Structure 1
């Protein structure tokens, strides 16, 4: 629960600009490109911090790392509340991003340490579900606070709450011994980066999850306002609905992954299926198909919780001693893509200029269409043969036992390698 609280705050910070962006633009004269960069720098800093944070998690454990970094996020929120222009907003947002850099991976590391591997996807789902409620808090509740106090007071409240959460994690979470001997800088990273399976899943996971985060965090309300002509109240209500679906989707995907694993269906298959639905939902927006306005956005929200699947896959590939680094490297891709998608969308949309205070539909269609093309390419890459190999040639130890749930893995030092030939159950 304490780690879920940290992830709750991370999700709130990630999506809060969707609600406060109108007031930021009005108060400080920001355009779409400015908003895109200020919001996206959060992802950029998160991406840059993931590998060192992963090393720290494997060396020092999630309790110490999470509590220390959340204090940094609290400072960033307080600085954001006192910002007077684009540069100070950008720097404060970057500090917030650094402070929540371990919000997800600390919880994932704790789960790997405390739970058996076959339960990881399910427990991941519960944690992401609780954390994703932060996206709910960033809609109607945040709007209510904004209406009474303004965006500066809102961020002051968030600063105090974040500092309190850091203190609770430090004093309430029990210490679990971790083996930090293999967590030296660079230790284990070569094995992760040399694993071909990682480079099959990473582009697809990043393209879909990172894009979903960027869309829900900023461009969903912009689309609803500029393209659909929805009122402020309608937009906030719709965002609340998507946030609730995001939270429930995490739990659903976790339970589904746990259940299908028992049926011999690997989480890679579920991830590919979710990616296809994501692409179709975006095409519904780009092509302006006669669908309910909220429909595609609900599907996009669910994809934002697909980290449940991605990290379950990664936990199958690497031992728990490397979990922090493995999750961190994958998160570099997630957050890096989130930055590119969020900022890139802002740059493309701004090319058209505003008309009567709104950007035209074609601007969003082109920007979203570029994202869809990249996601489709990553899906084809993922589906290409050859993902069942790692590059490490030497095997110091072989554990190979087949049962009804066999994955056909051979384990080298820290790197499980799938067999070239699929098992009788079929290749995922």
Structure 2
């Protein structure tokens, strides 16, 4: 059965109020992305501040992403029950606390604890804002608006790349992090004041009490092969860009490619702008060709790792234009991962949308955890073995990044296996 595209328009849908709600929700996600990606920009400063090795430094992003992934299903259940407004405002408030604590942190434990709070707040945001789109807009608008949310929200990376990086260099650790806390505080206030879960007279929340019903919804979502396919599509498509922007992108560009700070900022800004351009195209393709979503996701993944292959096999540092093109190709992973949510939404009814979205969102962040950890472990193992005197030697980075191909291969196998099950149950032309 499909739950996707054929309902008549309801009062309040596609209205000016709907776009205001979407705008505030998108700003909250924009802020969350800025908080999420800020540590990648600050990773070199963090290594000096905390005296951390590569594997220890990766704990900051690793724990943040682990918490994010672990909370996706609970957040999906909570948003189905309590609504988006409560979850978005609470998530932004948690991120305020996390960034304030990180600004004052002097030890690895304090820093990791702070990033865990940021990850918990971030976890509450995307799933909750995603739930607003089918509640406020007609089904045919949903794929494009989903891409709009992802594209504009991911522009929050620009806050990390430009003003935050500049503030970090000029004002230092604590003032720059407190400025991000201020952005999250604004998102919390706007979400509490303006967001509404659905148009007037409509209640999309499910208030039935008890764990039994919650467990049933989770089981039903997991039993649907379309949800599992969404998980694996997200797993496979998102982690390359996520790993790059959350942890290893800046160190790789600085140490492995030898780019100066200004060039790194240009490359990372281009990464974000690529999300915008490609996201709009992918949204249109997803809406018009739903039967080709799996092929599209796998094609994008292949292109991304071909780009990585060019950088890894290039003798010495690659020319700056080659690095720029390759990084912009890696950036495609972020908008491509949104295909996964359209897949899951096609096969789940509205009352399960938050839970199914949460399950899908676990995929990419699980893969990110694996990729971040693998990269750090390989760098440390090579350094300990005396492979090169410098931990972040370009040749060491080649081997460390190459380990991510294992994650991509596992994801592609998961996509192919679950796509067969979806086609068997729902028909060959559905994905």
Partner of 1:131: 153
State the secondary structure of the residue aligned to 1:30.
coil
**Distance in 2 of aligned mates of 1:154 and 1:379:** 39
Question: How many angstroms does 1:381 deviate by?
Answer: 4.1
**Distance in 1 of aligned mates of 2:226 and 2:343:** 10
Give CA-to-partner distance per residue, 1:60-111, whole Å, 9 cap, x none. Answer: 1111111122111111111111100111000000011101112211111000
Partner of 1:74: 96
The equivalent position to 1:382 in structure 2, one of 396, 403, 415, is 415
Partner of 1:400: none
TM-score of the two chains, using structure 2 as the length reference: 0.85
Decide whether the 8 Å contact of 1:37 with 1:346 is kept in 2.
Answer: no
**Distance in 2 of aligned mates of 1:350 and 1:10:** 30
Question: How many angstroms does 1:281 deviate by?
Answer: 1.8
Question: How many angstroms does 1:47 deviate by?
Answer: 0.8
Q: Which consecutive residues of structure 2, in runs of 5 or more, have no partner in the other structure?
A: 1-22
Partner of 1:312: 342
Decide whether the 8 Å contact of 2:229 with 2:340 is kept in 1.
Answer: no
**Distance in 2 of aligned mates of 1:118 and 1:190:** 28
State the secondary structure of the residue aligned to 1:77.
helix
Question: How many angstroms does 1:248 deviate by?
Answer: 3.0
CA RMSD of aligned residues (A): 2.3
**Distance in 1 of aligned mates of 2:168 and 2:193:** 32
State the secondary structure of the residue aligned to 1:311.
helix
Partner of 1:418: 426
Give CA-to-partner distance per residue, 1:353-397, whole Å, 9 cap, x none. Answer: 29565512232222222211331343244235x73546xxxxxxx
**Distance in 2 of aligned mates of 1:209 and 1:56:** 24
**Distance in 1 of aligned mates of 2:405 and 2:237:** 9
Decide whether the 8 Å contact of 2:133 with 2:142 is kept in 1.
Answer: yes
The equivalent position to 1:121 in structure 2, one of 135, 143, 146, is 143
Equivalent residue runs for 1:9-48 within 5 Å: 9-48=31-70
Q: Does 1:260 align with 2:286?
A: no
Q: Which consecutive residues of structure 1, in runs of 5 or more, have no partner in the other structure?
A: 391-407, 410-416
State the secondary structure of the residue aligned to 2:47.
helix
The equivalent position to 2:107 in structure 1, one of 67, 71, 85, is 85
**Distance in 2 of aligned mates of 1:374 and 1:146:** 33
Partner of 1:195: 224
**Distance in 2 of aligned mates of 1:334 and 1:154:** 28
Equivalent residue runs for 1:16-415 within 5 Å: 16-176=38-198, 177-181=203-207, 184-261=213-290, 265-288=291-314, 292-353=322-383, 359-384=392-417, 387-389=419-421
Decide whether the 8 Å contact of 2:286 with 2:293 is kept in 1.
Answer: yes
Question: How many angstroms does 1:126 deviate by?
Answer: 0.7
Greater helix share, 1 or 2? 2
**Distance in 2 of aligned mates of 1:147 and 1:216:** 19
Which is worse superposed, 97-106 or 114-123? 114-123
State the secondary structure of the residue aligned to 1:193.
helix
**Distance in 2 of aligned mates of 1:389 and 1:231:** 49
Partner of 2:3: none
**Distance in 1 of aligned mates of 2:283 and 2:412:** 21
Decide whether the 8 Å contact of 2:236 with 2:301 is kept in 1.
Answer: no
Decide whether the 8 Å contact of 2:68 with 2:119 is kept in 1.
Answer: yes
**Distance in 1 of aligned mates of 2:403 and 2:226:** 26
**Distance in 2 of aligned mates of 1:246 and 1:40:** 23
**Distance in 1 of aligned mates of 2:197 and 2:225:** 34
**Distance in 2 of aligned mates of 1:259 and 1:162:** 36
Question: How many angstroms does 1:324 deviate by?
Answer: 0.5
State the secondary structure of the residue aligned to 1:187.
helix
Question: How many angstroms does 1:318 deviate by?
Answer: 0.6
Question: How many angstroms does 1:15 deviate by?
Answer: 1.6
Decide whether the 8 Å contact of 2:234 with 2:338 is kept in 1.
Answer: no
**Distance in 2 of aligned mates of 1:91 and 1:178:** 34
**Distance in 2 of aligned mates of 1:137 and 1:356:** 34
Count the aligned residue pairs: 395
Decide whether the 8 Å contact of 1:133 with 1:244 is kept in 2.
Answer: yes
Decide whether the 8 Å contact of 2:132 with 2:197 is kept in 1.
Answer: no
